[in-house]
Each structure stands twice: as C-alpha cells, then as structure tokens.
Amino acid sequence: MITKRNIGWLEYSLDFTLVFLFIYGVTFKFTGFAGSKLVIIFLLVILNKRRILEQLLANKFVKYTFVIWILISTHYYAVTVFSGHYSWVFLYQRFLFYFECVVGSFLVWFYLDRKYTLNQICMLLVKIFLLQSILIFLSFVSDGFREFTNKIMVVEDERALSATRTRGFSTSVNAALSYLQSLGVWISVIYFCVFKKKERGKLSTIICLLAIIIITLSTIFIARTGMIFCILFILSYLFQFAINNKSFFKTFFYSILIMSCVVVIATNYEIFIPQQKLALFKERVVNRAFEAIETYNKSGKLETTSTNILSNMFFFPEHDVDLIFGEGIWDASRVGRGGKSRVVGSDVGFVRLIFAGGIIMVIVFYSQVFVFLKQLLGTSLGKHYWTGIVCLGLVIIIGEFKEPFVIAASGIVKTFFLILFAFTLTDKSFKNQSTNQLAHAKND
C-alpha cells in the first residue's frame, strides 16, 4: 500500500478503529458517552492545535457553518423564550452538530491527511462500511454476537434489541443506520468514477464490488430507506458510466450483469441463512423489506405501513407568525419511541424544523446542504461523478421527508463532511490543475 509514509498494519488498524468509532458514534456502557467524542478528545491531544486552528479559520465551509450555527441558535433562543416553551435540547443539538460533525470531521480529515492520499482515504471508508455490513449480517445469523453487542453497547432504542432488525456494531438502528450504510455504496461508486484502473488496483476494485453488493444486501436487515438509496446510487453510477464512456451499450451490459447477480443471490439466499433462521428471515425480514411490492400485488396501491403513518405527519403551525418564525419547540430524538409522546407529532425533518424556528430557519439551515453540494461539484468528484452529487441531493431531500437525518449530529452528516474535506483539501492535484487552467484561460 503506497502512503505518504510507511504505515504498519497496527497503525492502520488504529486509524481504522478511530474513524469507525467516529462515524458510528458507538456508545459503550463502560464509558457512558459516544465513541466519537472520545476520538475528538484523542485527536485534540495528539494533533498540532495551532495548525488546526489556522486551517479551520481559513476554511470557507467551516466559517459558513459557524455563522449558520450562531444565527440559528440565537433565533431559536429568542423564539423559545418569547413563546414560553423553554425547550433547550435543540440548542444542545446545534452545538453537537457544529463541534462534533463539522469540527470533528475536520479533525479526522486533518489526522488522515498527514498519512494517506485521497485514494486511500476513500478506500478506508469503504472498508469501514463493508465491515459494518458484515457485522449487521452476523447479528442476524448469530444470537451470541447480537447478545454480546447488547451487553457492551448502550441501547438507546428498544428496537435495537430486535432479532430481525439488526444494528451490527452501532448504537443507532433502523432508518438512520440504513441511510448511513447506503453512503458506503456511494463512496464505493465514487472510487470507481474518480480513480483510474491503475490507481485502484485489482484488490481495491474487488473490495469495492463486494462492498456495493454486501452493503446493499445488508440494508434489508435494517430498514428499506437505505436499500432504496443504494439502488439510486447504483443507477446514478450506471448513468455516469454511460456519459463518461460515451457508450450506452456498455451500460446496458453492466445493468444486465448487476440484475443477474441480484437474481442469483435472491434465488440462492438459503445458502447464507442458517436453517433455523430461514422461517424468521422469510416472514419478518423479506416481507418487511418488500412490503410495498406485496401490498401492490394485493391492493394495487404502492404503499407501506411507514408511508401511511408518514402521510399523517405533514402539518404546520396554525398562525402565520408561528409558520414564519416558529414556536421554539424541539423534541429529543428518543421522545416518542416507546416513551412519552412528542409535542410535535411528526418525524418529517422540515416540519419539525418549522415548529422550531419557522420557514426562516428551514431556509437558513438547509442552505448548508446547498453549499455542501455546490462545493463538491467544484472538485474532481464533480468532474467525474456529478450524477452522484445530484443523486445525493435527491437522497437528502427524500430522507428529510422521512426524518430529520441531516439536522441531527449523526454519522450521516459526519460522512458527508469527511468526503467534502477530503475532496476539497486532500485532492490538491485537482485544485492545482483547476488553478492552472484558470490562469491559462486568463492569459489567452
């Protein structure tokens, strides 16, 4: 493995573990708080804090998100005090969003950038998502492994104890974890699109192919959300492949190949599932994953239990002032999950944000997503896989219709920002190339 300096397997394993804990935020019972916070503390101790501060202050995205954090927090504080709700959890979550997701992701990038190239950072992330997918599958087939993880990790949601909705080695569960895992497919596809064959190597190519297949299959053990997103990312790759190679015939060939692999696996899944788990797998896992198809065959309607529940969650404040400025209400993420009911009975991201700070806050907060996608389009990722960035924007929109995924300080947001910093800061060759081309254009 070619790195910026020689990296031994022990040091690589440490780096792998640090990034794994940071993304998944594993909370061990013997620590009492998320592993991502331990990683941030560790990095602050070992890294050059003066250089970090200099680069943080020079980064436009970091500064932009800081301004948004201050604006949103000030607005929400005024609204929640004026309305008399005094709901403070939103302010704490904004603090976590900035310092854990933005600054934390920057610290992790800074640490990796000293040792690895852009190619290797992407491959490290692919391996992390691949390992988690294997552990998710293992959680289903092995009761012992699932019981072991339940003993050492904090269970924030009782659904994490399910034998059919598995979480691998993660504190989060269901749609959030499924969404996060789908980003492993996105990064695997990035690897194919951005890096040439000689840069990838045979082993890395095989790992990415396995990651796309295994991660996509593993989402059926978590939630449908990630499975849909995986399919969208694969389709975006096929479309980009056709554009880059100017050949729809090759795209058609690869589409048939992918469909054939899916058919082969779907018709031979019994090989991978223990005999004593087959009935449970068919009844609970498969039926849940493909509920929409079963419902359509029976009633002619394309719907699921989740979409029916979600359809009743689109409502807004009654008064125009509250619609514009919000009511200063924000429920904790675990409220309504077997506990007390929510003040705002909706899972929809932008609906909850409207009740927090109104349409003003929705526009201001989601402007960060726009800036994030815009900056990605200006990198080598935008040059070689712009359909993937457009697809990611679509995924973010769909996701927010289900839950406030990008509002929370989650592994999803951390992965977004890790990729952003890697392609805007580590990918210096593309940045230099773009600068030279701009200089030549001005001279001409």
Q: What is the pLDDT of residue 182?
A: 95
> Phi/psi of residue 28, each to 5°?
-85, 145
Helix 118-141 vs helix 104-113: angle between axes, to the nearest 10 degrees? Answer: 120
Q: What is the pLDDT along the chain (444 residues), one digit of tens a residue?
A: 445 557 888 999 999 999 999 999 888 887 777 889 999 999 999 999 999 999 999 999 999 999 999 999 999 999 999 999 888 999 999 999 999 999 999 999 999 998 999 999 999 999 999 999 999 988 888 888 888 888 888 766 555 455 556 778 887 777 889 999 999 999 999 998 898 877 888 899 899 989 998 999 888 888 888 889 999 999 999 889 888 877 777 666 777 777 777 667 766 666 777 777 766 766 667 666 666 666 766 676 666 777 777 778 888 898 999 999 999 998 876 544 444 567 787 888 899 999 999 999 999 999 999 999 999 999 999 999 999 999 999 999 999 998 889 998 899 999 999 999 999 998 764 555 444 444 444 444
Dihedral angle of Cα 335, 336, 339, 340, to the nearest 10 degrees: 80
Strand-pairing partners, residue 34, are: 27
Residues ≥6 apart with Cβ < 8 Å to 118: 422, 423, 426, 427
Beta carbons of 347 and 313 less than 8 angstroms apart:
yes
- Cα four-point dihedral sign 261, 267, 272, 273: positive
Read off the pLDDT of residues 9-54 as tens digits, 9 standing for 90 and up: 899 999 999 999 999 988 888 777 788 999 999 999 999 999 999 9
- Cα four-point dihedral sign 415, 417, 418, 422: positive
- Cα four-point dihedral sign 296, 301, 307, 309: negative
Read off the pLDDT of residues 117-172 as tens digits, 9 standing for 90 and up: 999 999 999 999 999 999 998 888 888 888 888 888 876 655 545 555 677 888 77
Read off the pLDDT of residues 223-248 as tens digits, 9 standing for 90 and up: 888 889 999 999 999 889 888 877 77
Q: How far apart are CA 70 and CA 52, in angstroms?
A: 21
Beta carbons of 47 and 114 less than 8 angstroms apart:
no
Q: How far apart are CA 92 and CA 195, in angstroms?
A: 40
Q: What is the pLDDT of residue 282?
A: 66
HEC profile for 234-265? HHHHHHHHHHHHCCHHHHHHHHHHHHHHHHHH
Q: How far apart are CA 329 and CA 352, in angstroms?
A: 8
The full set of domain ranges for the chain reads 9-427
Of 193, 276, 289, nearest to 233 (Cα)? 193
Distances (CA, A) of 168 to 129, 133, 157, 290: 11, 7, 14, 21
Residue that has been written with the tokens 């125009």 in this structure:
320
